[in-house]
Amino acid sequence: MQKFYKPTIIIFLAIVLFATIFVCVDIFAEIKEILYHNRNEKLLSDNIEIERKWIVDSNTIFIDKSTAIVIDIEQTYISFSPEIRVRKLNNGEAYTMTVKNNLTSNGVKRDEYEIEITESQYNQLIAKKEGQTIYKTRYEFNLDGYWASVDIFHGELNGLAYLEIEFIDEKEAENYKAPNWVIKEVTNDILYKNGSLAQYGIPDSFYIYIKK
């Protein structure tokens, strides 16, 4: 015998179905967010930086800048060997000093020690600067569960932009597949390290890469 359901019952069942779907989507989104934050805490828990870097086109970056964390950075080196830099963040909201050394031959891994400093300490330290100060805007965001950042450079380095991703270990870094909107990986090219940019500016190879 064919059964006929009242429209109100069908509407009720449809509402329940859609509500269930939305709840599941919210739960999965919340789980992904928790995993992402747990991952970031682990990245920040030691003094090792494991990172890969790619040149990108600053005009065609496929990220939602409205949801990213935006940081304006003034980066000054007070020593290139060992590498010691200081930063002013967001026009004076915070100041940091960082020491980096023991870079591996593939450019992926090195030791990193960072502390917060006062404005007074920052001003004393930049008096000892070496090279040019780097000005850039950083967009930090979640890229498929990875802590990623895009740096867009200004001033003498205008036109240059990087995608950088930090990893838990070297195996994870090796296995990572970059998004298709990157132009060229420069992780192992010392000329694209910020310390080199502060000394020598944009490498000539950059203009070759962006034309391809």
Which 8-state DSSP code applies to residue 177?
Answer: P
Whether 95 has a pLDDT exceeding 70, the answer reads: yes
CA end-to-end span of the chain, whole Å?
69
* Residue 16: count of CB within 10 angstroms of its CB: 10
Nearest Cα to Cα of residue 161 among 127, 124, 202, 191: 202
Give the confidence band of 2 by pLDDT, cuts at 50, 70, 90: very low
Strands (DSSP E) contained in 130-198 are 130-143, 146-153, 161-166, 182-185
| Gap between the Cα atoms of 119 and 88, Å rounded | 9
| Tokens describing residue 93 | 């909201």
Determine the pLDDT at residue 108. 92
Give the confidence band of 14 by pLDDT, cuts at 50, 70, 90: low
Q: Which residues are catalytic?
A: 77
Whether 211 has a pLDDT exceeding 80, the answer reads: yes
pLDDT digits over 19-48, tens only? 555 444 444 444 444 444 444 455 555 689
Q: How far is CA 58 from the centre of its chain?
A: 14
Determine the pLDDT at residue 5. 46
Mean pLDDT for all residues in the chain: 84
| Tokens describing residue 124 | 């004393």
Determine the pLDDT at residue 36. 45
Q: How far is CA 117 from the centre of its chain?
A: 22
Give the confidence band of 10 by pLDDT, cuts at 50, 70, 90: low
Beta bridge partners of 12: none
pLDDT digits over 150-182, tens only? 999 999 999 999 999 999 999 999 999 999 999
| Gap between the Cα atoms of 196 and 177, Å rounded | 26
Beta bridge partners of 146: 143
Tokens 């790619």 correspond to 54
Give the confidence band of 15 by pLDDT, cuts at 50, 70, 90: low
Determine the pLDDT at residue 160. 97
Query: What does residue 81 show for φ and ψ, rounded to 5 degrees?
Result: -145, 100
Determine the pLDDT at residue 67. 85
Sequence-distant (≥ 6) Cβ neighbours of residue 47 within 8 angstroms: 111, 112, 113
Residues above pLDDT 70, as percent of the chain: 78
| Tokens describing residue 113 | 């020690």
Are the beta carbons of 129 and 76 closer than 8 angstroms? yes
